[in-house]
Amino acid sequence: MDNSGAGYSEPHRHRHRQRFRGLVSLLELKNGQKGVVTLLQGNKKVIHRLSELGIVPNTVVEVINSIPFGGPVEVLVRGSRLAIGRDVAKGILLRVEEDGK
Amino acid sequence: MSSCHVPSSAKRDDKADLVVALAGNANVGKSTLFNQLTGLHQHVGNWPGKTVEKFEGSLVVDGYKIDVIDLPGIYSLSTFSIEELISREHIVLEKPDVVINVVDASVLERNLFFTLQLLELQTPIVIALNMVDLAEDRGLSVDEKKLSEILGVPIVPTIASKGIGVYELIRQAINVAERKTKLRPMNVKYGKDVEERIEKLTELIKNGDLHYPPRFVAVKLLEGDEDIKKKVDKKVVEAAEKFAKEIEEIRGIPVPIVIASERYAIISRIIKESRKILAPSKIGLVEKVDQLLTHKILGYLIMTIVFFSSFYAIFTFGDYVSTILSAAFETLKPSIVNITGEILWEGFFGGFVAGVTLLLPFVLPFYLLLSILEDTGYLPRVAFLLDNVMHKVGLHGKAIIPLIMGYACNVPACYACRIMDTQRERLISAFAVTFIPCAARIIVVYGLVGAFVGIEWAYALLLINLAIIMGMARLAFKVCPGESMGLIIEVPPLRLPTMRVVLTQTWNSIKSIMYVVFPIYIIGGGILAALYSFNVLQPVEELLTPLTVEWLGLPTYAGIPLLFGVVRKEMVIIMPAILFGTTDFVSMFTPLQMLTLAFVAMYYIPCAATFAMLKKEFGWKTACYITAFEVAFAILLGGLFYRSLDALF
Ligand SMILES: Nc1nc2c(ncn2[C@@H]2O[C@H](COP(=O)(O)OP(=O)(O)OP(=O)(O)O)[C@@H](O)[C@H]2O)c(=O)[nH]1
Ligand SMILES: [Mg+2]
């Protein structure tokens, strides 16, 4: 299994975004855009729950809908549709393939 | 293996020959299947998380008496939620003879994640490959023979909602339970680094006296499962923690994710061999509608229209039917009173009439609309739309589902708060639910305010109520300690409501209400009439006057209805209707009094049944706190409400 770049991190106040150069959070994807899950951040339980629902490193996730002003995003993952709140979504970091843009 | 076909019921008379449990992900059709098997009426609907408690039924087939257990839907055998714990403990501790793993064929990958865990648990299983119709619409074709070969367990394709495949399924289940079908369950193997440590842990656990298979315990310990940790030796837990740390160092991610990743990798391989993707046949229009419903602007517009027109429909329908029925009973009344001429009879009969003319016309459309909303799959979409609004009060989108259910009745709505992920969120949402004006309170609002003060005032009361609910949830959020989780909910497919499902659901709810409520009305009415004729209640009313008359500006005779309203909220107007023999409340209250009484009735206390539910879910103390708070809140605000309107009128 390819684990390069797959990682995990507890949220850290002084940790800056450039630590994860090239990664974007689920919130930054536009509708119809796909990304590959690379890193999961946040509460342990939340991450565990996400992984049970199929959001694990190296999984392709497609954003299909989102609500602006702090609303949730809707994603397609492994054939199922999930609505994910903003707080949870911002901890899902992805690698976006060039042709996905 | 005995081929004895005579079931053992001869020995154990009332006991079942076999116990079959239904387990699987949420919203895959377990309860639908349960209803098909047992002829019972478990709550079904198109959103995840309806069944929150295990439920039993039975059937007799091929000479076997079978107990069927409907379990809550879960995504994993971990123990984050009450539902997961209930399901896991049932499967492990009560050891059903066979577990029917209901699987949604249209979301096979995610469903197999749970199946793998059942295999690890070494439970005898049969797979119901349900929703094959939906899978076909999406162009997914599952080769169940191949899948069955790989997993080593029997698979029966079903369409539970149409009863297709159900008989075959139960026969396969019997065969497995009777060991006529040999299971060759697939071994779930992880990467070498993980496997080595699982084996070492398994060795340590082996002698322990656990109900769970040692390998399953080992995996769960590595994942850090709190419930399992409590069940094993301290030394084992320490070893597990050490191993887990080592794995995390090698992989760079926590063990639960390592395990989940590997399971999904296994599943991907299984899917590759057993599922083909053809061209989807039936998408298009539904998809378009779905996009509109959850559109960032239009979605909100549609939602407002849906909810406003629902209330409009309820009020219009209720008023129309109520008027007709009242008129019909009006013509009956004189003759009946003349025959018996007794106050008591008037009380009994009055209770019955009030129930028929006030309760049914309003409660019926509520349940009908709720069933329709549930069956279409609209509720999770509303949860999506309102997630950020709910965040403002410390909850998240999922809480909207119990809140909407609360408009029909607070009791099942409090129960539905279990879909929230943490105890704190459950409590906050249940507290908010008790402020939702249930059908019974809507009757009060409509019967007093809508009918005699003006319908716009009724809507105004409902809007004020929304603001109060938000404020109260916010308050509870500030006061309650504990943790919160964000929104994660599966969005089920949107579809047209099925007539049969909607009507059955509505009828079942109405039926159970009538059984409970009519006796209360009739007996309550009789008692009330008797007490009044013996002058027992007047002193009580006198006692209440400082509150009712002085502070709230109500007439003296409003005291007793408010007391009866503790049992059921609509008693607040049903009691005066019985006493005065009419639902024309103009003769009893001024418009201002009607508004105040309706306002107070909306908030003043959770009804007896809601209290009982709160106690069951959160304990005596919390239930009493909530009740005391609401009494004080309603009295305080009611008085202010009266005074500020008094200045206006
Ligand atoms: N198209 C289709 N729909 C089905 C089928 N079986 C059940 N349904 C529908 O799927 C929805 C969910 O069914 P339920 O029986 O409530 O699901 P459940 O597994 O008990 O769900 P929870 O109790 O929430 O875990 C309902 O709206 C059913 O009518 C099927 O075979 N095909
Ligand atoms: Mg169910």
Pocket test for ligand 1, best of B42, B103, B130, B161 (most atoms within 8 A of CB): B161
Is the domain of B263 the same as that of B306?
A: no
Tokens of B619: 């304990």
Q: Give yes or no for residue B106 CB within 6 A of ligand 1.
A: no
Chain B residues with beta carbon closer than 8 angstroms to that of A57: 253, 257, 261
Domain span including residue B638: 298-493+506-648
Question: Is A70 in contact with B391 (Cβ distance < 8 A)?
Answer: yes
Q: Give yes or no for residue B48 CB within 6 A of ligand 1.
A: yes
Specify the pTM.
0.90
Contact B228, B253 (CB under 8 A): no
Q: Give yes or no for residue B26 CB within 6 A of ligand 1.
A: yes
Per-residue pLDDT for B200 more than 50?
Answer: yes
pLDDT in tens, B153-182: 999 999 999 999 999 999 999 999 999 888
Q: What is the pLDDT of residue B196?
A: 95
Domain span including residue A48: 14-96
Per-residue pLDDT for B109 more than 80?
Answer: yes
Nearest CA to ligand 1 atom 29: B161
Least distant ligand from the CA of B416:
1
Residue A10 in contact with partner chain B when CB distance is under 8 A: no
Residue A84 in contact with partner chain B when CB distance is under 8 A: yes
User: CA-to-CA distance for B376 and B370, rounded, in angstroms?
Assistant: 10
Residue with tokens 């090698």: B250
What is the tally of structural domains in chain B?
Answer: 3
Q: Give yes or no for residue B375 CB within 6 A of ligand 1.
A: yes
Is the domain of B163 the same as that of B203?
A: no
Domain CATH code at residue B94? 3.40.50.300
Question: Is B486 in contact with A88 (Cβ distance < 8 A)?
Answer: yes
Q: What is the pLDDT of residue A2?
A: 38
Is the domain of B371 the same as that of B415?
A: yes
Domain CATH code at residue B255? 1.10.287.1770
Is the domain of B65 the same as that of B207?
A: no
Domain CATH code at residue A79? 2.30.30.90
Does the residue B159 lie in any domain?
Answer: yes
Range with the lowest mean pLDDT among B127-141, B250-264, B504-518?
Answer: B504-518
Best of A9, A20, A39, A48 to substitute, by most chain B Cβ atoms within 10 angstroms, is: A48
What is the tally of structural domains in chain A?
Answer: 1
Q: Give yes or no for residue B31 CB within 6 A of ligand 1.
A: yes
Is the domain of B223 the same as that of B145?
A: no
Q: What is the pLDDT of residue B169?
A: 97
Averaged pLDDT, B392-420: 93
Q: DSSP code of A25?
A: E
Q: Residue B61, by phi and psi: left (phi above 0), alpha (psi -120 to 50) or beta?
A: beta
Does the residue B186 lie in any domain?
Answer: no
Is the domain of B253 the same as that of B373?
A: no
Write the single-letter amino acid at B175. Answer: N
Chain A residues with beta carbon closer than 8 angstroms to that of B396: 85
The residues in B 259-278 lying below 8 A from A, measured between CB atoms, are: 260-262, 264-265
Q: What is the pLDDT of residue B334?
A: 54
Q: What is the pLDDT of residue A4?
A: 38
User: CA-to-CA distance for B638 and B619, rounded, in angstroms?
Assistant: 28
User: CA-to-CA distance for B562 and B601, rounded, in angstroms?
Assistant: 7
Does the residue B56 lie in any domain?
Answer: yes
The atom of ligand 1 lying closest to the CA of B131 is: 31
DSSP string, B140-161: EEE-HHHHHHHHTS-EEE-BGG
Per-residue pLDDT for A84 more than 80?
Answer: yes
Is the domain of B316 the same as that of B401?
A: yes
The interface predicted TM-score of the complex, written ipTM, equals 0.87
CA distance to partner chain B, nearest, from residue A90 (Å): 11
